[in-house]
Chains A and B, each alone.
Chain A
Amino acid sequence: MLDLLDRLLPNIGRYPLWARALFLSTIALVLASAGVYAALYNDASARLERSKVSLTITSVLTEEDARNAAEVTGGPALEGPFFATTRLQVDGAGYERRIPISQEVAPGKTDSFEIPLAAAASSRHRLTVRVLAGAEPAGAPRELELDILVPRPPAG
């Protein structure tokens, strides 16, 4: 790193004034952004937590579903899937979110997954939930209406 700086600094002095002003402004912006990011991190995290909701959907897989899934996964699936928060669009329409599930479920058995959903603001969502085993649908799609309430942060 020091060697890199030694190589760069002498050359920076030879750049035009406007370019050096750009470099200096960029450094100032990076420092300001890092400071703002750190200062507001707890507030942003609290808003993120308040915006989370969760759904529970149960789908019983058939023998054919298991075969379809095995064609794609090609072997035993991972244990204990972790799902990152799926963000829904506040003003979106006709978009799709795919959530890969890598888990082995025996035919006729059920398993449960918690998939956190979030939206940036209070909003109403009409969802069509499809469970796919491999590339084939497992069971009929489920129509859901979801109201997400994001409380305002306390005043002050």
Chain B
Amino acid sequence: MLAIIDLLERVAPRLEFYPGWAQALFTATFVAFVLAVVVFAALYPSRRGSGEAAER
């Protein structure tokens, strides 16, 4: 946990000193990552269910 906090403290102060386009890229990546996790979790049961149904 301390290593993660140390990493965040090292990363976060530098982010605002990156160019605007790089900050936009980081933001888009974060949004896409969150969206992908949500989509993956939301569709996972139905995908898994249809797979199990196909195996029967």
Interface residues, chain A, with chain B CB atoms under 8 Å away: 10-11, 14-16, 19, 22-23, 25-26, 29-30, 32-33, 36-37, 40-41, 43-45, 47-48, 51, 84-85, 87, 118, 120
Interface residues, chain B, with chain A CB atoms under 8 Å away: 9, 13-19, 22, 25-26, 28-29, 32-33, 35-36, 39-40, 43-44, 47-48, 50-51
Q: A11-B44, A14-B47 are in contact. Are A48 and B39 (CB under 8 A)?
A: no
- The SS class assigned to the A binding surface is helix
Query: What's the A-B contact tally at a CB cutoff of 8 Å?
Result: 71
Most buried by A among B16, B25, B33, B51: B16
Q: Which residues of B contact A23 (CB under 8 A)?
A: 36, 39-40
Nearest CB on B from A54, distance (A): 15
10 more CB-based (< 8 A) A-B contacts, given A44-B14, A44-B15: A11-B47, A11-B51, A14-B51, A25-B32, A26-B33, A32-B29, A36-B18, A37-B26, A40-B22, A44-B17
Q: Which residues of B contact A41 (CB under 8 A)?
A: 14
